[in-house]
C-alpha cells in the first residue's frame, strides 16, 4: 500500500506542476534595450543632480528645465516651456512635451525637477556612486524619475515602439511646495489620457506601485493676546504663547490613524523679545486624509476646540487650507496594476501594488481629479532618504527593471494588451 500511495502522490504532484501557469518570458528586445540604456541613464542622472533646483531657485530651475527640454526635443518631442500659473509662489516653469505615434491611445508621464534643498548645498553633497547605490541631493525625489522618463522615451525610440497615439511628458518645478503653479495644468492635461504614470520612487526594500496616496492640508492657528513687561507687570498682559500651548495640547488627539486621518503640529512661533509677554503666537499643523470629507471633519473639530480657551481676553483663530487631494484606487487602476505585476514577473521580480495610502501626497492626485483612465504612482526607482541632506540614494539594480516596466506598460496600453 505504501508503494501505491507514493505513486499517487507523485502523480498528483506531476498534475499540479503541469496545471500551474508558467511565467511569461520577458520581451527580449525591450529588456536588451533597457540594459543598453543604463550607462546613459547614469550620465543623465549625474547631470540632473549636479544642477541645484530648489522649488524657489528660479535660476536653477531655469537651467534644469532647459536641459530637460533640450533632451526631450532631441528625442523627437514637441516641447513647450510653460510659465507658472502662480509665479509669486513657484517661479519654475513646467516642461511639457508631446510625442506623436501611430496609434490612438494617449499616455501621460509625470515627474518633478524641483527639490527641497537650499542653494549651495551641492558643493558638500555632489553626485557619487558607492557600490550599488547612487547618492545625491534630490536623486530619490525625484530626479531619478525625470531620468527614467527621458530614457524610457529613448528606449521606445530605439526599438521603434510608437504604437501610442500621443505620449505626453509633464515635468514640473514646484511639486515640493504643493504644485501651486502647475496643479491646474496637470489636471487639465490628464483629463483625456487613457493612462497616467507618475514616476516617484519606491521604498528601498520593496518594488511597489501605488494606487492611493493621502490628501494633504494644513491648519494655521493664530492667537492674539496683549503685550506687557514680563518683569514688572506680567499680570497686565495676555500671554499668547500660553494660550497657543493650551490649544495645541488640547488638539493633540484629533488624529484617527485607523481611518488614515492624521493631524500633527509641526511649526510654532511667539514673541520677539525675552522680556515681554508675547501678544501674538502662531502654529501650523500638517494634516493627512484618505477622503476629502475627512478634511471637513478636522476643520469642524478644530473650530470646536478653539472655543475652549485658557487665557481670558485672547482671540484664537484657526484656518484649514486644503492642498493636494487624496488619490483613491479605481477599478481601472487595479486592473492595470495587476498587469504590471505580471510584467515584473517576466523578469523574475515581485511587485507590490499598494491600494492603501501611507501618508505621502502626490501630483498624481491632481491628475486623477478629471482623468478618464487609470492613474498609477510609483514607477520610479527604489530609493531612500528623500529630504535628507546626506543619505539620499537610489538603488542601481532597479534601473533596468523600472525601464522595462515603464516601457512595457506604455506599449501594452497603446496596443490594448494591458488586460
d(CA 183, CA 328): 17
CA atoms within 13 Å, Cβ hemisphere of 248: 22
- Region at 398 (left for phi over 0; alpha for psi -120 to 50; beta for the rest): alpha
> Active site includes 57?
no
Q: Are 221 and 316 in contact (CB under 8 A)?
A: yes
Give strand pairing partners of 221. 283, 318
> Active site includes 114?
yes
- Region at 387 (left for phi over 0; alpha for psi -120 to 50; beta for the rest): left
d(CA 190, CA 172): 14
Selecting among 37, 52, 57, 114, the annotated active-site residue is 114
CA atoms within 13 Å, Cβ hemisphere of 172: 31
d(CA 128, CA 118): 19
Residue 354's SS3 state is: strand
- What number of other Cβ atoms are within 10 A of residue 128's Cβ? 13
Kind plus residue range of the DSSP H or E element containing 36: helix 28-49
Selecting among 175, 280, 294, 363, the annotated active-site residue is 175
d(CA 197, CA 409): 9
Instruction: Give per-residue burial for 377-398: e unless 16+ CB within 10 Å, then b.
Output: bbbbbbbbbbeeeeebbbbbeb
Q: Looking at the annotation, which residues are catalytic?
A: 114, 175
Amino acid at each position: 500500500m505504501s508503494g501505491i500511495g507514493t505513486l499517487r502522490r507523485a502523480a498528483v504532484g506531476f498534475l499540479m506542476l503541469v496545471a500551474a501557469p508558467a511565467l511569461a518570458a520577458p520581451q527580449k528586445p525591450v529588456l536588451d534595450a533597457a540594459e543598453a540604456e543604463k550607462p546613459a541613464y547614469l550620465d543623465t542622472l549625474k547631470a540632473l543632480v549636479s544642477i541645484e533646483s530648489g522649488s524657489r531657485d528660479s535660476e536653477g530651475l531655469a537651467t534644469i528645465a532647459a536641459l530637460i527640454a533640450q533632451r526631450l526635443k532631441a528625442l523627437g518631442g514637441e516641447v513647450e516651456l510653460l510659465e507658472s500659473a502662480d509665479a509669486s509662489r513657484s517661479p519654475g516653469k513646467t516642461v511639457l512635451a508631446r510625442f506623436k505615434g501611430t496609434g490612438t491611445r494617449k499616455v501621460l508621464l509625470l515627474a518633478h525637477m524641483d527639490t527641497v534643498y537650499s542653494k549651495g548645498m551641492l558643493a558638500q553633497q555632489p553626485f557619487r556612486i558607492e557600490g550599488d547605490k547612487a547618492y545625491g541631493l534630490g536623486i530619490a525625489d525625484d530626479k531619478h524619475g525625470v531620468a527614467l522618463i527621458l530614457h524610457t522615451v529613448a528606449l521606445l525610440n530605439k526599438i521603434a515602439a510608437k504604437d501610442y497615439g500621443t505620449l505626453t511628458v509633464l515635468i514640473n518645478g514646484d511639486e515640493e511646495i504643493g504644485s501651486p503653479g502647475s496643479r491646474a495644468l496637470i489636471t487639465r492635461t490628464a483629463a483625456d489620457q487613457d493612462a497616467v504614470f507618475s514616476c516617484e520612487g519606491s521604498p528601498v526594500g520593496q518594488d511597489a506601485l501605488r494606487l492611493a496616496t493621502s490628501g494633504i492640508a494644513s491648519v494655521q492657528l493664530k492667537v492674539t493676546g496683549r503685550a506687557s513687561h514680563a518683569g514688572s507687570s506680567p499680570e497686565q498682559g495676555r500671554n499668547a504663547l500660553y494660550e497657543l500651548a493650551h490649544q495645541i495640547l488640547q488638539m493633540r488627539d484629533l488624529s484617527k490613524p485607523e481611518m488614515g486621518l492624521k493631524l500633527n503640529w509641526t511649526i510654532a512661533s511667539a514673541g520677539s523679545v525675552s522680556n515681554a509677554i508675547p501678544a501674538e503666537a502662531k502654529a501650523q499643523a500638517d494634516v493627512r486624509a484618505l477622503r476629502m470629507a475627512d478634511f471637513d471633519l478636522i476643520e469642524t473639530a478644530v473650530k470646536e476646540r478653539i472655543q475652549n480657551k485658557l487665557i481670558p481676553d485672547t482671540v484664537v483663530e484657526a484656518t484649514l487650507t486644503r492642498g493636494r487631494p487624496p488619490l483613491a484606487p479605481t477599478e481601472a487602476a487595479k486592473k492595470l496594476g495587476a498587469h504590471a505585476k505580471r510584467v515584473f514577473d517576466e523578469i523574475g521580480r515581485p511587485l507590490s501594488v499598494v491600494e492603501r495610502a501611507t501618508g505621502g501626497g502626490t501630483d498624481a492626485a491632481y491628475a486623477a481629479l478629471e482623468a478618464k483612465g487609470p492613474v498609477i504612482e510609483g514607477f520610479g526607482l527604489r530609493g531612500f532618504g528623500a529630504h535628507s541632506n546626506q543619505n539620499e540614494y537610489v538603488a542601481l539594480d532597479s534601473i533596468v527593471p523600472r525601464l522595462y516596466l515603464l516601457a512595457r506598460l506604455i506599449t501594452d496600453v497603446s496596443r490594448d494588451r494591458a488586460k
